[in-house]
Structure 1
Amino acid sequence: MKREENLIRLDSVEKNDISNSDYLVYLFFHKELKTAIQKYAKGKLLDIGCGNKPYEIWLKGKISEYIGCDIVQSSSNKVDILCEAINIPLESDSFETIISTQAIEHIEDHQEMVNEAYRLLKSDGYFILSGPFYWHLHEEPYDFFRFTKHGFRYILEKAGFEIIEITPNGGAWATLGQMINHTLGFKNSNANTIAKGIKYLFRKLRLYVLVNRIFSYLDQKDFNTINTINYVVVARKK
């Protein structure tokens, strides 16, 4: 099956506010991703699964060149190289930094993608990788995996990387709040009248704003990463 082109992708990191039903994931994910980029990004950079390059603004002044690859062209026509993530037509040892955000769960052979990143990085180069632990099915049927911190460590070390840090994005309260927003926000034609009514009121009254406030507050007061929404990982090529 051919992947759909020109999919609507995230195109800005400035649009997340309390009224966004996905506020909780972006609140924690973007904070940790920005920190990793500011600390480790350098030199010539490759973005695997770049989409609309939403994090380009964070890279200005830090890198010398930004090349983005993806399997299909993005909705804003930002992809430089159309290719599979496991077969990128570029020379080995070409980049000081590689990033790949929220793409690994869509790659059938994620180990080969990580191996390819290792091949393309120069020695002592950094790989900044992110992917979900909790998220609903999306871009079906090309949604294959979810990763624990141990899973990320395994596939990166197997490729030869040294793990620098693995950072959870939100704790158990934030994850629960995001699940509530998803469960009550999604329409389901098979739901009975009571369930449809509850969901309708949730959307009509914009109760996800209240959920965002309550669960972001609780997550700060009782931070527990036994359940998290996402991970940001930084690894180095030895």
Structure 2
Amino acid sequence: RQADDLGLRYLRRGGYDPREMAEVFDMLDRVTRAEGRGRVPEWLSTHPAPENRRARIEAELASDAAAAGGTVEREAYLRRIAGLVYGENPREGYFRGRTFYHPELRFQMEFPAGWTTQNQKQAVVAVTPARDAILELTLAGTAPPASATGEARAFFARPEVLAGRPATDRIHGLPAAGGPFAAALEGGGRIRGVVAFIEHGGHVYRLLAYGAEVRWIAYEEEAVAALRSFAPLDDPAALDVQPLRLDIVRIDRAMTLTEFAARYPSAVGLDALATLNRVSADTRLPAGSLVLDAGAGEAQYAGLFAHARYVAVDLAIGDPGWDYRRLDALADLEQLPFRGASFDAALNVVTLEHLKRPQKALREIARVLRPGAPLLLIAPQEWEVHQAPHDFYRYTRYGLKHLLEEADFEIAELTPAGGLFRVLSRRMFNACQLAPWLLPLFAPLALLVPALDGLDRRRDFTLGYRCIAHRR
């Protein structure tokens, strides 16, 4: 209960919607039911049942109407979990039948048949069906420089070890030391077992098997065989195994979860997909595209993308008077915090001139766009200095074409924003800003001059360009 109360307090302090906490308990309940295992009664459990925790949180929120509200930031959350390992990570070791493989540490070992095995963070453990003997594989605990012989001598020198002496050996070509032993228990009684210390890959591993003294003879042979099965791992298939990872998929049309599973095959089954997404197999999922506004400023275009998932990113240094609180991420456009090919479209509106390395930023935008995704780019050519000192470049049509093609974009449309007479109109208004007494003279002309823009067919004098390009 204390953990739940603290979680609720932190949500409120951070400005997040506390109602989402109840949904977490709903997910926990779905996982519990999906596992299909019997539940320990709540009075014997270390944690209350998820549905009871949800009911208590909902009751507390209902008693405090002012507590509702706050941000959810669903898109930021999805970006954070994209690519996370789902389930156990085989890079940290995995069993295939009786054999344990560790790709990162590059070793394998076969455990006795019928023993219950478990890969823990600090050890791999196997227990006999009668639970009267155990086998444990760990890294030796002493600091380097360590050796199998040194570790074995230290083990047999312990006061509780009553019998045995270490012998040096080689196991599958690896330096090793160890042997059988007997040891006294703190509460009385004795155990017997066998230990081996093995050097491999810059580490010393301790392989320890033991059991009750009167029963040990029944397990000794298979325990010794297990210890002597430790070997370097060189099978490419076992070394290259990769974990399952969460993938955030944006669907281009509405469909049921069953249809989704058929269109986007997954390594997990339909039931697991339903649990992860908190839906049922026949739930109809809405369509939605993910749009990146790269250089969003005050996120002024968010309202244009109500039909999509709009993600506003900016470094928030351009204008000290702007309100950057609507941004989803503070980031340099040269190092976007997103996975590759994760966006369906992107904007870069009057931003390119403020980037010291525009080529690098465009390549980074290309990286996070899926192949074929569009980019809307608007950049100035004839424009006054603005947002100083962060104003570095102006662009011709040829410069934009070069930058975009170098960044792996294919230009579909490159349109000038007016011609010479629109530039003249803007300059007249600029003059009025410098000398307000010119306003009666220049303002009427500034409004009429753009009507002559059709005379400028070449459009070499233009305020800038609007470009639509597609990621190759």
How high is the TM-score relative to the length of structure 2? 0.37
- 8 Å CA contact 2:342, 2:369 repeated in 1: yes
The match for 2:391 is: 143
The match for 2:304 is: 58
The match for 1:237 is: 471
Which of residues 32, 35, 49 is equivalent to 2:295? 49
The match for 2:450 is: 216
The match for 2:132 is: none
Q: Kindly indicate whether residue 306 of structure 2 is the aligned counterpart of residue 70 of structure 1.
A: no
- Counterpart of 1:129 in 2: which secondary structure? strand
Instruction: Give 1:52-201 correspondences, 5 Å limit.
Output: 52-61=298-307, 64-72=308-316, 74-75=322-323, 77-186=325-434, 199-201=435-437
Q: Which runs of 5+ in 1 are unaligned?
A: 1-41, 187-198
Residues 78-108 of structure 1 show CA distances to partners (whole Å, capped at 9, x for unaligned) of: 2110011111111110001010100110000
Write the letter of the residue equivalent to 1:71. Answer: L
**What is the identity percentage for the equivalent residue pairs of Structure 1 and Structure 2?**
26
Summarize the Cα distance change of 1:200–1:183 in structure 2 as closer, same or farther, 3 Å threshold: closer
- Counterpart of 2:362 in 1: which secondary structure? helix
How many residue pairs were aligned?
A: 181
Write the letter of the residue equivalent to 2:350. Answer: Q
Larger radius of gyration: 2
Q: Which runs of 5+ in 2 are unaligned?
A: 1-287
* Cα separation, 2, equivalents of 1:185 and 1:226: 25
Please state how far the C-alpha of 1:214 moved relative to its aligned partner. Answer: 0.9
Summarize the Cα distance change of 1:222–1:134 in structure 2 as closer, same or farther, 3 Å threshold: closer
Residues 104-130 of structure 1 show CA distances to partners (whole Å, capped at 9, x for unaligned) of: 100000000100011000011011111
Please state how far the C-alpha of 1:172 moved relative to its aligned partner. Answer: 0.8
- Counterpart of 1:130 in 2: which secondary structure? strand
* Cα separation, 2, equivalents of 1:200 and 1:99: 35
* Cα separation, 1, equivalents of 2:340 and 2:326: 23
* Cα separation, 2, equivalents of 1:226 and 1:121: 31
How high is the TM-score relative to the length of structure 1? 0.71
* Cα separation, 1, equivalents of 2:419 and 2:395: 15
Write the letter of the residue equivalent to 2:446. Answer: N
* Cα separation, 2, equivalents of 1:97 and 1:200: 42
Please give the root-mean-square deviation of Cα atoms over the aligned residues, in Å.
Answer: 1.8
* Cα separation, 2, equivalents of 1:134 and 1:181: 14
- 8 Å CA contact 1:86, 1:116 repeated in 2: yes
- 8 Å CA contact 1:173, 1:223 repeated in 2: no
* Cα separation, 2, equivalents of 1:116 and 1:105: 16
Larger RCO, structures 1/2 (Cα 8 Å, 6+ apart): 1
